[in-house]
């Protein structure tokens, strides 16, 4: 299995997205605009994330790191997709989850 090692970001759970929608959009703290949302915590490459999942669940797969241009993915991807979450911080979100910690719950 090959996985790109030059695309980095923060893995984000659907529960985080659902929480933000429920808390901010349904609640009274909504600021209009476009939201870029990610969990807070560790930044990792897609390769590092694949290694983490492989190890946690003892899949014993051979994961080979490759660069984006070598991958067979036709979609253009950003190499750095780390969001700043400014609007979320402005709204004083106090709950923070480590980005890899939620994976243990949802995988």
User: Counting Cβ atoms within 10 Å, is residue 88 exposed (0-12), middle (13-18) or buried (19+)?
Assistant: buried
2 pLDDT band (50/70/90 cuts)? very high
pLDDT of residue 36: 76
pLDDT of residue 62: 97
Distance of CA 70 to the CA centre of its chain: 22
Cα distances from 11 to residues 16, 26, 33, 37, 70, in angstroms, run 10, 24, 22, 10, 23
Beta bridge partners of 44: 9
pLDDT of residue 47: 94
Q: Is the pTM of this model over 0.75?
A: no
Digit-coded pLDDT (tens) for 25-62: 777 666 777 777 778 778 889 999 999 999 999 999 99
B/e letters for 22-53, b = 16+ CB within 10 Å, e = fewer, are ebbeeeeeeeeeebeebbbeeebbbbbbbbbb
| Distance (Å, whole) CA 8 – CA 89 | 21
User: Counting Cβ atoms within 10 Å, is residue 11 exposed (0-12), middle (13-18) or buried (19+)?
Assistant: buried
pLDDT of residue 34: 78
Digit-coded pLDDT (tens) for 52-107: 999 999 999 999 999 988 877 666 666 566 666 555 554 444 444 445 555 665 55
């Amino acid at each position: 299995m090959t996985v790109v090692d030059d695309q980095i970001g923060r893995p984000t759970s659907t529960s985080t997205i659902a929480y933000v929608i429920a808390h901010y959009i349904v609640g009274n703290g909504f600021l209009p605009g476009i939201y870029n949302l990610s969990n807070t915590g560790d930044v990792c490459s897609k390769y590092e994330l694949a290694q983490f999942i492989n190890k946690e669940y003892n899949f014993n797969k051979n994961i080979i790191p490759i660069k984006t241009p070598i991958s067979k993915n036709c979609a253009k991807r950003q190499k750095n997709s780390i969001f700043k979450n400014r609007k979320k911080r402005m709204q004083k979100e106090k709950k923070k989850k480590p980005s890899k910690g939620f994976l243990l719950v949802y995988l």
